[in-house]
């Protein structure tokens, strides 16, 4: 089979010289099989973490524009080195920064969104028979500044390029064998899922599954890009993410995901008048803080004050506090925060048409002695905010309760052998 393929290698897959050469060998093998190949690389190993730590050592509040100039260097290193390795294997490779590759973003530094991909230079490289290597996680803004796409953003680079050049598949090579029914570090008997729908994958990425960046899945769904998430250390097939119409039978429950990176903000003394919730949410939105679960307790009597609680990613807590401070002093609100929150979620396309899933989730957590602090649902997801330390036990209990490790017990068989 030959076609156009985008291959993305994560940080652990290019961490040292041997792994980088192995990635180069895989890229070359794809080319030798007759494909046009674009490879997107992440920064090596913990490079991005080191760069962030370096910035924080210099300045408590680094300028976001300069932060992006710094962070974007990690991916450039990987690409230049990989091009050298590919050249040594007797193939022509050209490395490009995100900007050279034509990835145009908005101006929100450190969390930029891709607006357009002007892939002429990539196409030209492919037409000249070269393997094109593109630095992941970065682009150039409409104001001509270097931007980065948020942690894990190389996945989004890969999917965006796959869409732009009409690739047949976007292969995401990573340090795990695919998408699992739960994090195998917590649930050793978790099962590798051969196929997941975009809708399920979106909920999984949004609720803590670290394997694909949320935006990359959104982008893939919107542009119909087929993703194959697989191990860079073996040839085994991984997990293919496809449209729901391509899945034959919907599983009741597909996976249990979790996060221990949640923080809760409680605002006390909220006036019970129209418009206040809007002002609170707007203040957070302007600061680019994503609110997840929201609970508002109605005041007991007319004219009394209400309480409002919501969760945010812990890394956004400082921004959330700063964003709310002016409103708090204007309206006399009291703001409390709790940093050690976690979340468990149960996801499955089949729950749309199946009552009783929530009852089973709550009963299971209750039997584990886990206190549920907040709940939110979507048509295919039930999430519970719980204390951070209760997370591992809760994940194991839910995985067992829905029998997710058993091949074909609750999940129906699916004929996807040809893709995986």
Binding residues vs ligand ASP (CB under 6 A): 10-11, 42-43, 48, 74, 136-137, 151-155
Cβ at position 202, least distance to ligand ASP in Å: 18
Cβ at position 242, least distance to ligand ASP in Å: 22
What distances in angstroms separate CA 42 from CA 79, 111, 298, 420, one per listed residue? Answer: 8, 16, 47, 24
**Candidate residues 152, 153, 238, 388; the one interacting with Mg ion per rule CB under 5 A:** 152
Report the alpha-carbon distance of residue 184 to residue 175 in Å, rounded: 12
Residue 125 or 153: which CB sits closer to Mg ion?
A: 153
Is residue 208 part of the contact set for Mg ion (CB under 5 A)? no
Is residue 74 part of the contact set for Mg ion (CB under 5 A)? no
Residue 208 or 350: which CB sits closer to ligand ASP?
A: 208
Please give the order of strands across the beta sheet that includes 374-378. 294-297, 305-313, 255-271, 334-347, 381-387, 374-378
Q: Do 137 and 113 contact (CB within 8 A), yes or no?
A: no
Cβ at position 233, least distance to Mg ion in Å: 15
Report the alpha-carbon distance of residue 129 to residue 37 in Å, rounded: 9
Report the alpha-carbon distance of residue 409 to residue 254 in Å, rounded: 11
Residue 68 or 75: which CB sits closer to Mg ion?
A: 75
Interacting partner of 153 out of Mg ion, ligand ASP, none (Cβ under 5 to 8 A depending on kind): ligand ASP
Cβ at position 10, least distance to Mg ion in Å: 5
Is residue 194 part of the contact set for Mg ion (CB under 5 A)? no
Report the alpha-carbon distance of residue 412 to residue 415 in Å, rounded: 10
Q: How many CB atoms lie within 10 A of CB 80?
A: 15
Q: Do 180 and 15 contact (CB within 8 A), yes or no?
A: no
Interacting partner of 151 out of Mg ion, ligand ASP, none (Cβ under 5 to 8 A depending on kind): ligand ASP
Residue nearest to ligand ASP (CB): 154
Report the alpha-carbon distance of residue 175 to residue 181 in Å, rounded: 16
**Candidate residues 9, 10, 28, 38; the one interacting with Mg ion per rule CB under 5 A:** 10
Cβ at position 142, least distance to ligand ASP in Å: 21
Residue 13 or 364: which CB sits closer to Mg ion?
A: 13
Residue 74 or 152: which CB sits closer to Mg ion?
A: 152
Cβ at position 356, least distance to ligand ASP in Å: 38
Please give the order of strands across the beta sheet that includes 169-174. 93-96, 131-135, 36-41, 4-9, 169-174, 227-231, 239-242, 195-197
Return the half-sphere exposure (C-beta side, CA atoms, 13 A cut-off) of residue 139: 30
The residues of the shown chain that bind Mg ion, judged by CB under 5 A, are 10, 152
């Amino acid at each position: 089979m030959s076609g156009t393929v985008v291959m993305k290698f994560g940080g652990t897959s290019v961490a040292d010289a041997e792994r980088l050469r192995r990635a180069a060998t895989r890229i070359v093998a794809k080319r030798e099989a007759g494909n046009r190949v674009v490879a997107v690389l992440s920064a090596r190993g913990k490079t991005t973490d080191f760069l962030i730590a370096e910035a924080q050592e210099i300045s408590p509040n680094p300028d976001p524009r300069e932060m992006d100039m710094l962070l974007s260097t990690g991916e450039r290193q990987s690409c230049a080195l990989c091009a050298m390795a590919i050249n040594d294997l007797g193939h022509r490779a050209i490395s490009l920064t995100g900007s050279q590759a034509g990835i145009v973003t908005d101006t929100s530094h450190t969390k930029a969104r891709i607006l357009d991909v002007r892939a002429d230079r990539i196409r030209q490289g492919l037409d000249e028979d070269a393997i094109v290597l593109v630095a992941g996680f970065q682009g150039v803004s409409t104001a001509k500044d270097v931007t980065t796409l948020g942690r894990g953003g190389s996945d989004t680079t890969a999917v965006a390029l796959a869409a732009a050049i009409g690739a047949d598949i976007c292969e995401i090579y990573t340090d795990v064998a695919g998408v699992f029914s739960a994090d195998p570090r917590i649930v050793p008997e978790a099962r590798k899922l051969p196929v997941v729908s975009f809708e399920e994958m979106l909920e999984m990425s949004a609720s803590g599954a670290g394997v694909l960046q949320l935006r990359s899945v959104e982008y893939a769904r919107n542009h119909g890009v087929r993703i194959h998430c697989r191990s860079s250390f073996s040839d085994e097939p991984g997990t293919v993410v496809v449209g729901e119409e391509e899945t034959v039978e919907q599983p009741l429950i597909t996976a249990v995901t979790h996060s221990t990176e949640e923080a809760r903000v409680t605002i006390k003394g909220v006036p019970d008048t129209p418009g206040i919730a809007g002002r609170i949410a707007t203040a957070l939105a302007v600061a680019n803080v994503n609110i997840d679960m929201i609970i508002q307790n109605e005041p007991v009597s007319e004219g009394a004050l209400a309480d409002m609680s919501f969760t945010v990613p812990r890394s956004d807590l400082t921004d959330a506090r700063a964003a709310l401070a002016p409103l708090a002093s204007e309206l006399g609100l009291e703001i409390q925060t709790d940093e050690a929150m976690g979340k468990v979620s149960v996801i499955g396309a089949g729950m749309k048409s199946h009552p009783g899933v929530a009852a089973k989730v709550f009963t299971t957590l209750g039997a584990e002695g886990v206190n549920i602090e907040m709940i939110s649902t979507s048509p295919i997801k039930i999430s519970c905010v719980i204390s951070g330390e209760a997370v591992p036990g809760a994940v194991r209990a839910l995985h067992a309760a829905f029998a997710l490790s058993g091949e074909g017990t609750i999940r129906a068989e699916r004929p996807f052998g040809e893709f995986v």
